[in-house]
């Protein structure tokens, strides 16, 4: 238990990871997404202190650090040493909250996580949200959860230096048990949408790791920006690729360089798939929604080109197994995980067959997790 790792802990902050069921690589194009928080989480135990410092232990890494709120911008600990990479996420969250003028309280803390790192399940966002919610509890200030997510995102973008969208922090902060979250990343409108009854989420970790801060991710963002610039003269009023309909894109696609056209086509079609998905989920149509998931994967593989052989193998295996409604890569790509919508009564056999098939084809072991859509961040008082 996390509270046993910190004697006299007074609070436990628990923030879930997430899978994205549909709407991939569209959040930085002002698009609509369908993530779900999952029952794998960061757990942070804390005891408030009065010294204005954060004494923090990363249990899984067996490392500790202490930093001071007065010197956050320097990204150094109290001894003047550079903060270790894992500590940039809580420190960046503190920096962003401080920039907003919110009161911060020092604490002794220890945290652990059962979210696989680098697998596309937003382990870093869960760290940020867990710390932000704890500081909100300790500081007694009120803030809406979407705003809290935005402040966490700002810390990741401007302090850590990872140019991520808002979806990850949003899902960790706002998850609803048993539901996906329809989220319009432009208007910030969102609503929970029930997952089809009798289904579960299965996440399969390929074991291949990626870095969000790599050039391939940034190249794709640049392609989207180039497409917007070239289409704007012909489609007045568009502010992002989410504003381009599939029919309008078909008219002007030839104006774009080949690679840019491929990247933009994925975004335009993916936004349309999310719109199609809403009525399917609300009517409990697992088969129809699953087909959209598969179409998303094909687009990510062929047009956005962020898949890899291991992810393609996992998706192909899954779609040939009984009880699987849909499968696709989830997260930034280039490795990480696939997400599968599976009949609950067939999930056990599905997981075992997927593990065996993947090992036979790749000589790799896949970690496969049965997940439930879970609630967002909570802070529990132990007093």
Domain spans of the chain, in order of start: 2-181+375-381, 199-371
- Average the pLDDT over 321-325 and give the result: 98
- Enter the pTM of the model: 0.91
What per-residue confidence (pLDDT) applies to 346? 98
The mean pLDDT value of the chain amounts to: 94
Half-sphere exposure of 30 (CA within 13 A, CB side): 12
CB contact at 8 A, 197 and 284 = yes
Q: Superfamily assignment of 199-371 in CATH?
A: GHMP kinase, C-terminal domain (3.30.70.890)
Q: What tens digit of pLDDT does each residue of 124-148 get?
A: 999 999 999 999 999 999 999 999 9
Between CA 30 and CA 25 the distance in angstroms is: 10
Q: How far is CA 122 from CA 15, 38, 125, 149, 320, in A?
A: 11, 10, 5, 13, 28
**pLDDT tens-digit profile of 72-96?**
999 999 999 999 999 999 999 999 9
Which are the catalytic amino acids?
A: 168
Give the closest residue to 22 by CA, choosing from 283, 327, 366. 327
- pLDDT at residue 54, as a whole number: 97
Identify the burial level of 200 via C-beta atoms within 10 angstroms of its C-beta, where 0-12 means exposed, 13-18 middle and 19 or more buried: buried
83: phi then psi, degrees, rounded to nearest 5: -65, 140
pLDDT of 212 strictly over 60 = no
50: pLDDT strictly greater than 60: yes
pLDDT band at residue 122 under the 50/70/90 scheme: confident
Residue-level pLDDT at 267? 98
Domain 2-181+375-381 in CATH 3.40.50.300? The answer is no
The token duo for 57 is: 């232990």
In whole angstroms, give the CA distance from residue 310 to residue 168: 24
Instruction: Copy the structure tokens of residue 102.
Output: 């919110």
Mean pLDDT of 352-379: 96
Whole-angstrom distance, CA of residue 149 vs CA of residue 205 = 26
283 contacts: CB under 8 Å, gap ≥ 6: none
- Beta bridge partners, 46, equal 11, 109
User: DSSP states of 310-339 as a string?
Assistant: HHHHHHHHHHTSTTEEEEEEESS-SSSEEE
Question: What is the structure's pLDDT at 213?
Answer: 40
What would the pLDDT profile of 230-260 be if each residue is shown by its tens digit? 999 999 999 999 999 999 999 999 999 999 9
């Amino acid at each position: 238990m996390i509270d046993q790792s910190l004697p006299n802990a007074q609070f436990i902050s628990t923030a879930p990871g997430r899978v994205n069921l549909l709407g991939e690589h569209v959040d930085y194009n002002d698009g609509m997404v369908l993530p779900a928080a999952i029952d794998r989480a960061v757990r942070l135990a804390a005891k408030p202190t009065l010294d204005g410092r954060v004494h923090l232990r990363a249990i899984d890494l067996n490392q500790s650090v202490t930093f001071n709120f007065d010197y956050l911008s320097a990204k150094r600990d109290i001894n003047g040493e550079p903060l270790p990479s894992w500590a940039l996420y809580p420190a960046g969250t503190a920096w962003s909250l401080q920039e907003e003028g919110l009161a911060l309280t020092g604490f002794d803390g220890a945290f652990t996580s059962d979210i696989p790192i680098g697998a596309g399940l937003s382990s870093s966002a869960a760290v940020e949200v867990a710390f932000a919610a704890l500081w909100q509890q300790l500081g007694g200030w009120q803030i809406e959860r979407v705003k809290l997510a935005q402040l966490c995102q700002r810390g990741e973008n401007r302090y850590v230096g990872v140019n991520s969208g808002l979806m990850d922090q949003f899902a960790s902060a706002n998850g609803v048990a048993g539901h996906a979250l329809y989220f319009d990343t432009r208007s910030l409108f969102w609503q929970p949408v029930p997952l089809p009854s009798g289904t579960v989420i299965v996440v399969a970790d390929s074991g291949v790791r990626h870095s969000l801060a790599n050039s391939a991710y940034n190249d794709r963002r640049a392609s989207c920006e180039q497409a917007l610039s070239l289409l704007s003269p012909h489609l007045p009023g568009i502010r992002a690729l989410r504003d381009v309909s599939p029919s309008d894109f078909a008219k002007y696609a030839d104006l774009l360089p080949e690679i840019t056209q491929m990247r933009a086509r994925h975004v335009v079609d993916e936004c349309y798939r999310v719109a199609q998905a809403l009525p399917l989920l609300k009517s409990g149509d697992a088969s129809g929604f699953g087909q959209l998931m598969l179409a998303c994967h094909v687009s990510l593989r062929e047009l956005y080109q962020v898949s890899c052989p291991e992810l393609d193998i996992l998706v192909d295996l899954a779609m040939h197994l009984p009880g699987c409604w849909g499968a696709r890569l989830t997260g930034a790509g280039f490795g990480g995980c696939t997400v599968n919508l599976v009949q609950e009564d067939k999930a056990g056999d599905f997981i075992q067959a997927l593990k065996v098939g993947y090992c036979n084809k790749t000589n790799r072991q896949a970690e496969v997790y049965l997940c439930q859509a879970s609630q967002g961040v909570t802070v529990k008082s132990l007093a």
